Amino acid sequence: MARLNVNPTRQEMARLKKRLKTAQRGHKLLKDMRDEMMMQFLELVRKNRALRTSVEQKLMRAHGSFVLAAASMSEESMAEALMCPRQTVSVDVDVKNIMSVNVPVFNFSTSGDSSDIYPYGFGFTSGELDNAVFSLGDVLTELLELAQMEKSAELMSDEIEKTRRRVNALEYVTIPDLQETIRYIKMKLEENERGNTTRLMKVKDMMLQEQLEASQAAREARLAQ
């Protein structure tokens, strides 16, 4: 804890008490926000893990089919078969707000013949190539969803870390420093009050002593007459 460099006055103490109250309220709000973000982040990570497992399995199947197709077809034939796709995919990126964090939302649309995704005839191609193309078309939606989840998790992780640093700064630096400074000012004011009380008592004693001496001098003067 470090004491702030301020003048030990009642006005300064009142100002610091207001700052302390605001800091404590902000600390509670940020802590609640951090805890809620952590809950949503963990739920997002859980879904992301399950979706990633599914996507990886489907991509492995597609890759295996492509390997088998490449083994049964020449490189030129495969390149020619995949040269002119019948569908094109466009992706629109939007954002949504989760606990003050803007996370992406991917929306995709396809154009072309939606009933036939194969850009070639079946006469001169391998059945494994059909399986590979179908697997890739089937996993596209999950790939976009996975990309959205992972980017959202990254952004939320960064925001959680920023919020955690703010909470720690308030909890371990700002609030203790304010409390220590308020205690210091209160101690100084009490010392000043005790000092003022002591001085007033001394002044009172001096005035009583002067009155006593004046009264005694007047009595002696009367007796002398």
Answer yes or no: pTM beyond 0.75.
no
For 197-217, how does the pLDDT look when each residue is reduced to its tens digit (9 = 90+)? 778 888 887 888 778 777 777
Write the pLDDT tens digit of every residue in 142-197: 888 899 999 999 999 999 999 999 999 999 999 999 999 999 999 888 888 887 77
Rounded CA gap, 118 and 133, in Å? Answer: 7
d(CA 168, CA 106) in angstroms, rounded, equals: 35
Could you give the CA distance from residue 184 to residue 1 in angstroms, rounded to a whole number? 12
The size of the chain, in residues, is 225
Which parts of 99-168 are beta strand (E)?
101-112
- φ/ψ (deg, to 5) at 199: -65, -40
27 — pLDDT class (breaks 50, 70, 90): very high
CATH of domain 25-167: 1.10.287.3240
Which phi and psi (to 5°) does residue 85 adopt?
A: -65, 150
* Contact yes or no for 174/3 (Cβ under 8 A): no
Strands (E), the chain: 87-98, 101-112
pLDDT in tens, 60-118: 988 888 888 888 777 777 777 777 777 777 888 888 888 788 888 888 777 766 556 77
